[in-house]
Chains A and B, each alone.
Chain A
Amino acid sequence: MGFTSMDDLLAKISAGQIGRIDYGKTTTPAQVAGYWSNVGRWDGMPIMSAYAGASKTFVPTDNTSDGAPYTGESVGGSPIKTKHIINASANLFAAAGAPWILMCCDQIGYVPLAEADIESTTERTITMTALDSTCRYPAGVGLRAFFSTYTAPLTGGPNMTSFKYKNVAGDSHEVTKTINMCATPVAGQVPHSGNAANRFAPFIPLLAGDTGISDIEAFTWTGGTTYTGAGAMILHLVKPIFTLPLPANGIMTERDFVNQLPSLPRIVDGAHLMFMLFQTGATTTTSPLYITMDYAWE
């Protein structure tokens, strides 16, 4: 159950229980100032996720799903052994857009949303089997949801007036706070982030006291201006793992999770690591983002 001392960590690493993740993406298209983006929508290394599946149906993801970087083999065992990120670094070479915030998440799954479902003004019911104790985060504890754009709609910017989910206790809850979706978000953009009233970023707020999501039930986008055109969205369910500030263009930021910020974020067996990026300014298209991490296991 985790490393017991610095000696123990050193011994494990020395014995070869260390791995490395290299992750590179290129912004496409230019990303919008003040918004978060789903980095997994951009192409690079690993290859971009296609977010395949039937609209409004939850698709579970793990370390073998497309878009997931290789994070070593499962460590598992009984008593359980664990794997942890020991350091992370990232830089973004872009003519504009700094500063940025990079967030690493474990994506539990996603819900593809086809054009008809992002243009509808009635409640959209999600097909999903509630997460239980076998989930990487039992009963969805710590999980958060957000929408991102897969294909940009032409016009519009609706309001979400209802977001229904089950909390970790299995109770159905509804967020009725008005959450505005921005006009014509570009591919990758999180439409409910941004610099305007009734925006929430990066995640959809939960009701007071709730600590996670075990089931996404439904949402309603009504009011505002309905999206038009052949747009498509993705509703993600993720567990935030760590954040990394990127203060300026081309400045490699390093974070040491052992000495500098002792936290040793855990990579749960089967984790589908993905990243979100917040851009203070508009981020130039075709800007390379490079992320690297080292992990160790007991």
Chain B
Amino acid sequence: MEGFKSIREWVDSTSEGKCDIFQFRKMAGGATIAGQWADYTYASGRPVSNFYATAPLASALIGDDKGIYVGENVFPLKKYIHRLTTMMGAGATVTTCQNVQLLLCDFLLSYPFTDMDAGGEDQDMNVGVASPVTLPNRYGNSIGVKMMLVAQGQTIGGGTFTITYTNSDGTPGRVTPLHYCAAAQPAGSLVQSRVAAAGVNPFITLQAGDKGVQSVQRIKYALANGGIAAIVLVKPLRNHIQMEECRTTTTSTLYSVGSPSETEMITSGMNLTEIVDGAVLGFIGQTMAGSIASSQLVGTIETIWR
């Protein structure tokens, strides 16, 4: 039988070698605004940067080389995160980047290169594409699949937009409420804000009653924003908090010992996060002070399966 039936089986999997460890390192490039979210898959490092560089306005899978490698498929068994550990480190003189909230997601599908200068225009997806790429069916349905708008270059700000999509029930023509674009953002930042050009939430608000997104039909920037951005569909899996970065400096006020942030899934939250076969894992992050560009994100994912 797939999965675990007891704590004993959890221990047994470790003894039997049904476990592994993988490491990642990401270094964001652009200076982000404190309190707002950014897409760590866009950052350089390991795995390689994910620039969503595919055909404009055509749905595309996120290549598995862009996700954190967590081993080969285990079907018919099931694979879970056993431990997740992160650390952040920075140079001596940079501004602080503390209390980073990380959200591990499975990156499913993107619609790249929407034109944020095209104010008032409907930008339809997959025009002329004979067989559009569809959402991977890793989860059996699209309940819980969220949308993000990821800047693919420097943005200017001041824009607003709505997105027309098909919901998890297969109903097309669903329209998000009007969203605002955050003030000037670097590439890799999440742009969307529901209330004003501030206060970015990680995901785009759906039409009332909707539980998830299957596909996107169009985006319309009611007010031009400047820049280009990808609509990205993700399945959020678990959150993780990196409280303190490690930083040595000759200025004592900037000194920070740093601490690893470790989560063991049974004893911390009882959140047994499954990694389904084919998942493309990456983080989005929200820095509470400074910019994520000031600090490297490194960590390990330990897996266990049965």
Q: B19 on the interface (CB 8 Å rule)? A: no
A286 near B198 with CB under 8 A, answer yes
- Where chain B touches its partner, the secondary structure class is loop
Q: A123 on the interface (CB 8 Å rule)? A: no
**Residues of chain A within 8 A of B237, CB atoms compared:** 20
A287 near B199 with CB under 8 A, answer yes
**Residues of chain A within 8 A of B207, CB atoms compared:** 47
**Distance from A21 Cβ to chain B, minimum over Cβ atoms (Å):** 9
CA A18 to CA B238, docked complex, whole Å: 12
A14 near B202 with CB under 8 A, answer no
Q: B80 on the interface (CB 8 Å rule)? A: yes
A9 near B193 with CB under 8 A, answer no
- Among B117-125, B249-257, B265-273, which stretch is in contact with chain A? B265-273
Per-residue B-contact encoding for A255-298, CB less than 8 Å = 1, 0 else? 01011000000000000000000000000001110101010100
Per-residue B-contact encoding for A1-31, CB less than 8 Å = 1, 0 else? 0000011011101111011101011111000
Q: B298 on the interface (CB 8 Å rule)? A: no
Q: B26 on the interface (CB 8 Å rule)? A: no
Known: A24-B201, A250-B288. A256 touches B270 (CB 8 A): yes
Q: A87 on the interface (CB 8 Å rule)? A: yes
Within 8 A of A (CB), among B98-154: 98-99, 101, 103, 143-144, 146
Per-residue B-contact encoding for A78-98, CB less than 8 Å = 1, 0 else? 000000001101010100000
CA A22 to CA B203, docked complex, whole Å: 9
**Distance from A194 Cβ to chain B, minimum over Cβ atoms (Å):** 24
**Residues of chain B within 8 A of A44, CB atoms compared:** 194-195, 201, 205
A11 near B6 with CB under 8 A, answer yes
- Where chain A touches its partner, the secondary structure class is mixed
B143 near A70 with CB under 8 A, answer yes
**Residues of chain A within 8 A of B196, CB atoms compared:** 26, 28, 286
Q: A66 on the interface (CB 8 Å rule)? A: yes
**Residues of chain B within 8 A of A13, CB atoms compared:** 270-272
Q: B10 on the interface (CB 8 Å rule)? A: yes
Choose among A18, A89, A252 the residue that contacts B99 (Cβ–Cβ < 8 A).
A252
Q: A169 on the interface (CB 8 Å rule)? A: no
Q: A210 on the interface (CB 8 Å rule)? A: no
B269 near A47 with CB under 8 A, answer no
CA A218 to CA B226, docked complex, whole Å: 54
A45 near B205 with CB under 8 A, answer yes
CA A66 to CA B35, docked complex, whole Å: 27
Q: A43 on the interface (CB 8 Å rule)? A: yes
Q: Nearest chain-A residue to B139 (Cβ)?
A: A16
B209 near A250 with CB under 8 A, answer no
Q: B230 on the interface (CB 8 Å rule)? A: no
Q: Nearest chain-A residue to B239 (Cβ)?
A: A292
Within 8 A of B (CB), among A157-196: none
**Interface size for chain A: under 10, 10 to 19, 20 to 34, or 35 or more residues?**
35 or more
**Distance from A156 Cβ to chain B, minimum over Cβ atoms (Å):** 27
Within 8 A of A (CB), among B193-224: 193-196, 198-209, 211
A46 near B198 with CB under 8 A, answer no
Per-residue A-contact encoding for B33-57, CB less than 8 Å = 1, 0 else? 0110000000000000000000000
B268 near A259 with CB under 8 A, answer yes
A22 near B199 with CB under 8 A, answer no
CA A284 to CA B144, docked complex, whole Å: 30
Choose among B193, B199, B209, B236 the residue that contacts A20 (Cβ–Cβ < 8 A).
B236
Q: B289 on the interface (CB 8 Å rule)? A: yes
CA A10 to CA B265, docked complex, whole Å: 10
A26 near B193 with CB under 8 A, answer yes
B270 near A258 with CB under 8 A, answer yes
CA A265 to CA B198, docked complex, whole Å: 33
Q: B3 on the interface (CB 8 Å rule)? A: yes
CA A44 to CA B238, docked complex, whole Å: 20
Q: Which 3 A-B pairs have CB atoms at the shortest separation, nearest pair first?
A: A250-B288, A24-B201, A14-B3
23 sampled A-B residue pairs with Cβ under 8 A: A9-B270, A10-B6, A10-B7, A11-B3, A13-B270, A14-B78, A20-B236, A25-B201, A26-B196, A28-B195, A45-B194, A46-B208, A47-B177, A89-B239, A91-B288, A250-B35, A250-B99, A256-B269, A259-B269, A286-B196, A287-B199, A288-B199, A294-B238
